[in-house]
């Protein structure tokens, strides 16, 4: 926790990065790629061979390692956009239409019922497929539906 707090301080950034690099990353990585900012592909290969992660994961691991190994606060991302590469189209300003003041106070919307705020209970759908023989009598068909009402609807 203290290391994370110190990492945010520009004065302590370099020392904290060195400490993280020595405590977190193995010696064989540090020895294999002595200058990771110049040979990022070698860092990615090292992580790919030892971690078993996918391409995106390997690139992320390498990016973090390069940042920590460099320990250079001056290499922060440039937040200014390059206006030469992007030309922004001017947006038309919307016209403001003034409405005359109403003589009656605005009506507030009705309060929302507490029931409508509660999450809806999951629904239950039952699909029944009934195969009735073509030679069944109307009395038998009535008994089938009567039995269904008794067992399904508890009537």
Compute the mean pLDDT over every residue in the chain, rounded to the nearest whole number.
76
Rounded Cα distance between 124 and 152, Å, is 13
Residue 13 has pLDDT above 60, yes or no: yes
12 close to 6: Cβ distance less than 8 angstroms: yes
Residue 124 has pLDDT above 70, yes or no: yes
72 pLDDT tier (thresholds 50, 70, 90): low
Domain positions in the chain: 2-75
* Cα separations in angstroms, 102 against 95, 97, 110: 21, 15, 20
83 pLDDT tier (thresholds 50, 70, 90): very low
pLDDT given for residue 137 in this prediction:
92
Does the pTM surpass 0.75? The reply is no
Q: Is 44 exposed, middle or buried (0-12, 13-18, 19+ CB in 10 A)?
A: buried
């Amino acid at each position: 926790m203290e290391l994370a707090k110190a990492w945010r301080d520009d004065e302590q950034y370099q020392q904290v990065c060195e400490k993280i690099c020595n405590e977190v990353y193995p010696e064989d990585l540090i020895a294999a790629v002595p200058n990771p900012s110049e040979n990022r592909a070698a860092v990615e290969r090292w992580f790919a061979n030892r971690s078993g992660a996918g391409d995106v994961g390997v690139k992320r691991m390498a990016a973090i390692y390069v940042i920590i190994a460099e320990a250079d606060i001056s290499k922060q991302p440039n937040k200014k956009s390059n206006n030469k590469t992007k030309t922004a189209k001017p947006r038309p300003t919307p016209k403001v239409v003034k409405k005359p003041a109403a003589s009656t106070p605005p009506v507030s919307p009705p309060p929302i019922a507490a029931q409508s705020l509660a999450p809806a209970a999951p629904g239950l759908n039952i699909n029944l497929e009934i195969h009735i023989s073509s030679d069944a009598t109307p009395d038998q068909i009535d008994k089938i539906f009567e039995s269904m009402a008794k067992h399904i609807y508890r009537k």
